[in-house]
Amino acid sequence: MTQGTESATTKSSKARLFDRLALLFLGLSIFMLLCYGTIFIVPTVVFNPFKPYTLAMSTFAPTLPPIATLPPTWTPTPAVTYKPTATRATATATPSHTPRPTRTPLPTDTPTPSVTPTPTEDLCKTLVLLGPPPSQKYNQYDVPKLVWKFGRVLGPNEHFDVLFDPPGSGMGSVGWADRTDPKNKDCTTYCEFPVAVYEIYPGGRYNWTIAVIRADKNDKVLGTVCPAPPVYFFER
């Protein structure tokens, strides 16, 4: 075999080798593309070396403490007020007469009182404590409600002063009931004032009563309209 023939054969073998390698790389490339595409679409496929993982999050519902069942508290029955029926007066016939000309009185100055008149004793008697009735017993978590009534609506500068005497503390004011709840301005039927005692005062006897006072615009007490009636008390 001549040198020229050997050279042509060698070149032909190398060309076939390169063709096979090109086909091999092309096949590998197509295979890799298919694998990546499968992993992209289905991340949990078996041959995925980096499988995704999920965090299992558990939600724990908080356990609420048991709610204490409170016994029913005493609710006063509202007093019913009946309005008197006006009686129509019977007209009495009077003889007709010719009126004489009357004298026109000269205008006089009407004195203006400088001091608000003190309410009558009968009005202060309408300040009545209704409940809880004396010696009422409450449980640990109960919220007692003080109930009373008064014969008229309070004036703009008048207030119901709640006087409270917890065990070992002495009688003192714990607030103005109408300031806490504006509906307590009108107690002609009845009014209520809840007092929280749990974890504030020790157990024992609690004395209480209500007074009607007068104050200025700066809440400075000017005087007593109606003194407090005899105390009521409850126990806890």
- The pLDDT > 70 percentage for the chain reads 67
**194-228: per-residue pLDDT in tens?**
988 777 777 788 899 999 999 999 989 999 999 99
Nearest residue to 211 (alpha-carbon basis) of 183, 182, 181, 171? 171
**186-200: per-residue pLDDT in tens?**
999 999 999 887 777
Which of 53-67, 138-152, 218-232 has the largest mean confidence? 218-232
The pTM of this model reads 0.48
**106-129: per-residue pLDDT in tens?**
555 555 555 455 555 688 999 999
Specify the pLDDT at position 185.
Answer: 92
How much is the average pLDDT of 170-192? Answer: 91
Nearest residue to 227 (alpha-carbon basis) of 208, 210, 215, 214? 210
> What are the φ/ψ torsions at residue 71 (nearest 5 degrees)?
-70, 150
What is the chain's mean pLDDT, rounded? 76
pLDDT at 136 over 70: yes
Nearest residue to 179 (alpha-carbon basis) of 129, 146, 207, 219? 219
Nearest residue to 72 (alpha-carbon basis) of 130, 136, 129, 135? 136
* CB within 8 Å of 235: residues ≥ 6 apart: 135, 136, 137, 138, 203, 204, 205, 206
Assigned CATH class of 121-235: mainly beta
The C-alpha atoms of residue 173 and residue 170 are separated, in whole angstroms, by 10
Domain boundaries, the chain: 1-53, 121-235
